[in-house]
Amino acid sequence: MRSVFVLLLLSSAIAFAQQPSSPAQQPGTQQQTVTQPSTKPKHNEEIVVTGTYDPLPLDEVDRDVTVIDIGQTPTLYRDWMDVLRTDPSVDIQQRAPGVQGDLSLRGSTFGQVLVLVNGVRVNDVQTGHHNLDLPIPFESMQRVEVLHGSGSTLYGSDAVAGAVNFITAPAAHNELRIGAGGGNYGTNEQDASISLARGPFGEQAAFTRELSTGFIPDRDYRSLAISSETTVRTRLGLSDVLLAYSDRPFGAADFYGPYNSWERTKGWFAYGQQALGKNTSALFAYRRHSDNFILLRDQPEVYANEHIDESYQAALRRNNDLARNTRVFYGAEGFHDSIDSNNLGHHKRDRGALYGDLDVRALKRFSFAIGAREELFTGGQQDFSPTVSGGYWLSHHVKLKASASHAFRLPTYTDLYYSDPANMGNPNLKPEKAWDYEGGALLTFSSRVSGEFTVFNRRVRDGIDYVRANANEVWQAANLTNINFTGFEAMTHFEATRNQRFDVAYTFLHGAQNALNGLQSKFIFNYPTNAGSATWFGTLPGKLTTRARVQAIQRYQRDVYPLVDFSLTREFRMFHPYVQLTNLTNTGYAEIAGPPPVRMPGRGVIAGLEMVLTKTKQ
């Protein structure tokens, strides 16, 4: 019945697409939707590509999406984890700076968030612990977009609590950037990028290297990432090819227990996207990831694992205008992944999907979208993920919006097959299923003051976690019947002057304290019940650009702890010196509770210099 629904939606779209379009909007003209005049303030006109099938102004998106632009002043940020801390609904559970960290949204586990690069999924099929092991250099990124809430109708598996989309910067002009810096804990870093733009051709290549001797023994690391992105515009449309590689060896003391462990990950990533006219596009992507793990660094013969996983994905997507304010999106996608591991064994699986979405939109008045996705897995299993969302402008200053959607997540190979003396996978795990509901309002008080609040509820069935009855038993992967989260998000944006901006945000969470029936949980109850941040972006005398952020985080049944960061840069004609200060209060904290708790570094200082040579197009 569910497959019939998707097929009916697709067939209706194709049938309607054959009808003549309204003269006011020609078929496939995405610019028509994006660039119509707006009565909203200029700062809300940023175009968003995450959580929507069609690029839209941020205030026209009916889902809760956060946009973090880093392209103008990248030296104000440490890395992509530093960027994501801007959003208090995003919980970064780092094991160490620069190498490994888990990502959760609205109290989810790290496996329930989908990570994208330019809209292409890069989640690791071995384990969600490597979802942020991105192969692209930080210097290649332009902005990050965070979709709060289910995204399975758009993206498929893993987007149970949301999706994070890392978007690279296309080559807009000819530019060379070279930078180097150093700081305490034996940290030093080098980076370089070059952009070339000539006519329809664009190329950006980026490189970054960072190493540290570690703030405690066996927390040293080295990180290398290289990427190349080529774009060409032809009569068919835009061609985009991205190639990336990363290599990250690091000391992993206490990461997986009270051991002086060592780990090395490598990543290979490639994708090609091709427009086939105004209405159709095709995509193919490949990801390979290796993980070499040593339990005891000084005794590698005691216990070692080596995992190599591969993923392929392909998609054919199309859209048509049905009327002046109505558009339909539909397509097909295919996925294949496999793993070769001395611990997990040799496994592979395939899945395919059909999706359709009907979008009705009258800018600055109302919007409505209904969509569905049918995904089939190896072995005859399937998932049906519908979604509905809408928005209504009460006035030019107030917009109401709401959505309801279904999501799912396939178990990783570690969830299914991993085993060691302390942990045991479960080959009988079922996919996670969830319903996500949210409602809220976008408020614009003036051209300089705006705000947004959202109330949400997520209900997960067959949630995956590792549980045990007491400390004498091993952790066993299991499906939990009901895991429910209810929460509230609020943010305000205030531009005091043209060069001074303040962002204040807060997230409250109430989780599923009764889901375990007396069992101990390894991952679920590490979520923050309260998280808030206040960020100031400003320009000081002497053309100094600054970013200051104060955070306060309280995790479930743990004490609140503060984090204070400060960054400063000065842009001369060619040279951009910078200073980045982290954990200024020298707070002792652990984002991973353990046992043992995974300690994070104290006060950190990095100073450096970036040289920029730019030639703009004539």
pLDDT digits 0-9 by tens, 386-435: 999 999 999 989 999 999 999 999 999 999 999 888 889 999 999 999 99
Sole residue written with tokens 């909007």: 25
Query: What CA–CA distances, in Å, run from 421 to 293, 465, 567?
Result: 15, 17, 44
Contact, 605 vs 184, CB < 8 A? yes
Residues 431-445, mean pLDDT to the nearest whole number: 95
Per-residue pLDDT band for 601 (boundaries 50, 70, 90) equals very high
pLDDT at 75: 87
Neighbours of 316 (CB within 10 A): 14
Per-residue pLDDT band for 438 (boundaries 50, 70, 90) equals very high
pLDDT tens-digit series, residues 525-554: 889 999 999 999 998 888 899 999 999 999
The count of structural domains within the chain is 1
Whole-number Å distance between alpha carbons of 111 and 413: 12
Total-model pTM? 0.91
Judge whether residue 182 has pLDDT over 80: yes
| Structure token pair of residue 321 | 């205008």
CA angle, 532 then 595 then 161, to 5° = 45
User: How does the average pLDDT of the chain come out, rounded?
Assistant: 88
**Domain that residue 130 falls in:** 2-615
Residues 329-352, mean pLDDT to the nearest whole number: 96
Judge whether residue 8 has pLDDT over 70: no
21 or 607, higher pLDDT? 607
Which of 336, 231, 226 is CA-nearest to residue 273?
Answer: 231
Per-residue pLDDT band for 171 (boundaries 50, 70, 90) equals confident
Judge whether residue 594 has pLDDT over 80: no
Instruction: Let me know how many helices (H) and strands (E) the chain has, helices first.
Output: 5, 35
Judge whether residue 287 has pLDDT over 60: yes
Judge whether residue 41 has pLDDT over 60: no
Whole-number Å distance between alpha carbons of 383 and 370: 17
Whole-number Å distance between alpha carbons of 189 and 227: 17
Whole-number Å distance between alpha carbons of 555 and 591: 9
pLDDT at 514: 64
pLDDT at 515: 65
Among 27-36, 188-197, 444-453, 502-511, where is mean pLDDT lowest?
Answer: 27-36
pLDDT at 31: 31
pLDDT at 73: 81
Element (H, E) at 237: none
Per-residue pLDDT band for 101 (boundaries 50, 70, 90) equals confident
Per-residue pLDDT band for 513 (boundaries 50, 70, 90) equals low
Judge whether residue 104 has pLDDT over 70: yes
Neighbours of 23 (CB within 10 A): 7
Share of the chain above pLDDT 70, in %: 92
pLDDT at 612: 92
Residues 71-79, mean pLDDT to the nearest whole number: 83
Q: What is the CA radius of gyration of the chain?
A: 24
Most confident of 241-250, 317-326, 466-475: 241-250
Whole-number Å distance between alpha carbons of 254 and 592: 10
pLDDT at 449: 94
| Structure token pair of residue 562 | 């503060």
Among 12-16, 53-57, 83-87, 186-190, where is mean pLDDT lowest?
Answer: 12-16
Which of 569, 605, 567, 568 is CA-nearest to residue 586?
Answer: 605
pLDDT at 15: 40
pLDDT at 2: 54
Per-residue pLDDT band for 188 (boundaries 50, 70, 90) equals very high
Whole-number Å distance between alpha carbons of 239 and 274: 5
Share of the chain above pLDDT 90, in %: 71
The CATH number of the domain where 124 resides is what?
2.40.170.20
Judge whether residue 243 has pLDDT over 90: yes
pLDDT at 592: 84
Among 94-108, 279-293, 513-527, 587-601, where is mean pLDDT lowest?
Answer: 513-527
